[in-house]
């Protein structure tokens, strides 16, 4: 009994709550939850576990969100996206061998700021406006930066005006992205069982958050919520960048 109490008063509980909140965000606006989570996790997990644990948690978050909105999923885009994803994961998996894990938070922070505020960056992304290339880059890049949802959401927003269709379809596509990523990390030898309590707590929070967010989607002003989300993400991304730069400056001296 005392061991159970210890579990639910430690890191697992905190991460479960954080994952719940980020999953609610993602279920309401379609993106942002995974990005918030990936900027927070470096404070709780070692760098080698950051993207694998995040990926497995996001499988549950996105898959549950897709399940709760299954009637709105546009299934015709899935085969194209999946083909691109398989090619992307095969290519980008090799990049991990040449990247120092200590710089992963820096990549994440820069990517988030560019995707939120740089029109030129987003214009370049928009050039890849088909589901083959969206799958290729979204799944491939997720091996390095973790959360790449905006790549596909931009395309879905153009093709579908219905918010529920965009959120549900985006969720199933992100499920594929994170699932393939998890498979690759298992192949590389990452032992998810070493973080089993954290993963269980985060999965529980993710699924419950998807349920609450789906039910709340039409109760919140999307424009105001999106603006608040962008500001919050920017603050977290800047913190990631500053922390990694200060750490490297400290090592120099």
- Contact call for residues 225 and 29 (beta carbons, < 8 A): yes
- How does pLDDT run across 184-231, given as a tens digit for each residue? 999 889 999 999 999 999 999 999 999 998 888 777 776 776 677 678
- Answer yes or no: is pLDDT of 14 > 60: yes
DSSP 87-150: HHHHHHGGGGGGS-GGGHHHHHHHHHHHHHH-HHHHHHHHT--SHHHHHHHHHHHHHHHS--HH
Local confidence band at 76 (pLDDT 50, 70, 90 cut-offs): very high
Question: Residue 243: which domain range?
Answer: 2-252
For the chain, the average pLDDT equals 83
- Answer yes or no: is pLDDT of 7 > 60: no
pLDDT exceeding 90 applies to what percent of the chain?
Answer: 36
Picking from 126, 121, 53, 131, the residue whose alpha carbon sits closest to that of residue 87 is 131
The count of C-alpha atoms lying within 13 angstroms of the C-alpha of 229, restricted to the half-sphere facing its C-beta, is: 26
**What pLDDT does residue 101 have?**
66
Average pLDDT of the segment spanning 229-234: 75
- Written as six digits, the tokens of 49 are 């576990």
- Contact call for residues 46 and 231 (beta carbons, < 8 A): no
- Answer yes or no: is pLDDT of 84 > 90: yes
- Answer yes or no: is pLDDT of 4 > 60: no
Average pLDDT of the segment spanning 150-168: 78
Phi-psi region of 189 (alpha: psi -120 to 50; beta: other; left: phi over 0): left
Q: How far apart, in whole angstroms, are the C-alpha atoms of residue 153 and residue 238?
A: 23
- Work out how many domains the chain is built from and give that number: 1
Mean pLDDT check: name the lowest of 18-27, 34-43, 100-109, 204-213: 100-109
**What pLDDT does residue 1 have?**
45
Quote the pTM value.
0.79
Q: How many CB atoms lie within 10 A of CB 127?
A: 7
**What pLDDT does residue 77 have?**
93
């Amino acid at each position: 009994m005392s061991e159970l109490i210890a579990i639910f008063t430690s890191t697992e509980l905190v991460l479960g709550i954080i994952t719940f909140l980020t999953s609610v965000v993602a279920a309401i606006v379609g993106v942002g939850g995974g990005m918030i989570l990936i900027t927070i996790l470096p404070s709780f997990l070692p760098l080698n576990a950051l993207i694998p644990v995040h990926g497995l948690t996001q499988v549950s978050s996105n898959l549950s969100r897709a399940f709760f909105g299954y009637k709105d999923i546009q299934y015709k885009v899935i085969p194209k996206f999946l083909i691109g994803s398989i090619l992307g994961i095969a290519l980008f998996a090799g990049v991990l061998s040449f990247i120092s894990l200590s710089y992963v938070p820096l990549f994440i922070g820069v990517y988030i700021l560019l995707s939120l505020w740089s029109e030129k960056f987003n214009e370049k992304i928009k050039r890849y406006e088909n589901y083959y290339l969206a799958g290729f880059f979204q799944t491939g890049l997720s091996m390095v930066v973790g959360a790449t949802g905006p790549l596909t959401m931009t395309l879905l927003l153009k093709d579908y005006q219905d918010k529920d269709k965009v959120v549900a379809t985006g969720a199933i596509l992100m499920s594929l992205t994170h699932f393939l990523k998890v498979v690759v990390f298992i192949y590389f030898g990452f032992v998810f069982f070493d973080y089993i309590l954290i993963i269980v707590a985060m999965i529980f929070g993710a699924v419950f958050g998807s349920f609450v967010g789906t039910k709340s989607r039409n109760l919140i002003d999307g424009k105001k919520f999106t603006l608040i989300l962008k500001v919050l993400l920017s603050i977290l991304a800047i913190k990631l960048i500053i922390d990694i730069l200060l750490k490297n400056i400290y090592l120099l001296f």
